[in-house]
Amino acid sequence: MVQSFRSQGHGELARIGVAVCHGFTGSPVSMQGWSDYLADAGFAVNMPLLAGHGTTWQELSKTPWEDWYRDFEAAYLELAARCDTVFVAGMSMGGALALRVAALHPVAGVAVVNPGLTFSDPKAKYAGMLKFVVKSVPAIGNDMKAQGISEGAYPRTPIAAVHQLAQLFENTIELLPRVTAPTLVFRSTVDHVVPDSSVEVIKGKLGAAELQIIPLENSYHVATMDHDAPLIFSQSVDFFRRNHHAI
């Protein structure tokens, strides 16, 4: 069963929180390894299951993007109520949601993996019309170099949800200049889901004075479950430790 995840934190890092967000059509499965690593290190962790996810793609097709954001913002706020410092982390669409939270709240830093803000398929811009003709298309999940692993994504991608995703991207891009917290981006050199233009948008519009981009040479899109996962986990912990007084 796909579930959310919470850890209270322990030791010297217990008052530092990390809100973690999975991606579009995916589930917390894709981020469980990272969340476990952070929790084992001592951080307080909150990883929600976003609305419309972990059920059916038909359910996702009826879910507005504001509900995805609401669920992740609530995870951040829960940590902010009991921690001295809170970071946000996400993959793919979860990266967009993390950046949006960072634009609207005083986070200490942002760590994202292959964040999505643009589409590789030009037809995505017409999703608002196509959703009335085509209900779904083949899944975009499990883009990993490692074999025999599943992120628990839906077998189909609902076009109505792609339309919502496009609206989330547009809204978040407008807010990027308001993100002033240090930002760490892990970017796979080969990604069959999110195009390089997403990172270019971040580089061009982010308001943060500190932006670090770490290339992932041995992973595809779902890098948190791929060969470079240990690098993501260890480098993010170093980043969080380095910036927990950033606010």
CA-wise closest residue to 6 among 70, 52, 74: 74
92 annotated active-site: yes
Are the C-beta atoms of 3 and 32 separated by less than 8 Å?
no
Catalytic one among 61, 92, 198, 219? 92
Residue type, 226: D
Long-range contacts of 59-67 (CB under 8 A, 24+ apart): 60/25, 60/154, 60/158, 60/161, 61/131, 61/135, 61/136, 61/158, 61/159, 61/160, 61/161, 62/160, 63/161, 63/164, 64/164, 65/164, 65/165, 65/167, 65/168, 65/171
CA-wise closest residue to 30 among 245, 226, 167, 247: 226
Separation of alpha carbons 242 and 237, rounded Å: 8
- Strand pairing partners for 16? 85
191 annotated active-site: yes
List % helix, strand, coil for the chain (3-state, nearest 5): 45, 15, 40
Catalytic one among 191, 228, 236, 244? 191
61 annotated active-site: no
Separation of alpha carbons 206 and 15, rounded Å: 27
Catalytic one among 221, 226, 228, 236? 221
Catalytic residue positions?
92, 191, 221
